[in-house]
Amino acid sequence: MSKLSSIDSLPVIFEKLMTRAKILQPDLILGDTILGLTLEILSQHQIKGLILDVDDTLVPLQETTVSDDLQRWVDSLRLYLPIWLVSNNLSENRIGAIADNLQLPYLLGAVKPSRRKLRQAMAAMSLPPQQIAMVGDRLFTDVLAGNRLGMFTILVKPMVNPLTGGAAYPIHDFEVWISQILGVSLHPQHYFIKPDQSSQK
């Protein structure tokens, strides 16, 4: 390939990178854990249903104890909108225990960014995808899966165990790094208008 043809192909490469960035772009970057997601914020974006990731979104990885703050958060929102848990985790004992404590329906082994289990939860809500928020701490699983279905995607900070302090999240940090290289904007509390992603596979 000549030097000139390489230069000519740069716009094509840039366009492909921007397309990939759009599918990873959250609609809302909360800049806080899920506990900072209020009914006011959800109402502002016409959200009428929630699908929540579990690991590091609701409870730190490997833990099964639901905090009092999380229980109060769920109780305050369940009065106004349906909530489902959809996790990639395969542990029935762990995810089932968390769901039972929160008294929420759940699906495990979702293999996000696969859309299959998300579709099941969405069907149970009988709501259009744009009125359902997919909430999670991971760009390449939660946000990508939600965007592929045209859902409203919300990126939250990982839940930290207060007894252990700040934990390392290498996979999360790597996803953020790659996404920013691709052009994803991750400024907290920023709302992005994305093109329809529901037809993307």
Cα–Cα dist 120/93, whole Å: 21
Ordered strands of the 49-52 beta sheet: 28-29, 152-155, 132-136, 49-52, 83-86, 106-107
Phi, psi of 114 (to 5 degrees): -60, 145
**DSSP-derived secondary structure letter, 163:** T
Whether 201 has a pLDDT exceeding 90, the answer reads: no
Whether 15 has a pLDDT exceeding 60, the answer reads: no
Cα–Cα dist 183/95, whole Å: 34
Task: Dihedral sign for Cα 138, 121, 145, 128, please.
Answer: negative
Whether 13 has a pLDDT exceeding 50, the answer reads: no
Whether 108 has a pLDDT exceeding 80, the answer reads: yes
Whether 79 has a pLDDT exceeding 90, the answer reads: yes
Average pLDDT over residues 34-53: 97
Reference 112, options 137, 84, 143; nearest CA is 143
HSE-up (13 A, CA, CB side) for residue 129: 16
3-state secondary structure 111-129: CCCCCHHHHHHHHHHCCCH
- What pTM was computed for the model? 0.84
pLDDT tens across 125-143, in order? 999 999 999 999 999 999 9
pLDDT band at 183 (very low <50, low <70, confident <90, very high): confident
The end-to-end CA distance of the chain, in Å, is 31
User: Looking at per-residue confidence, does 18 or 71 come out higher?
Assistant: 71
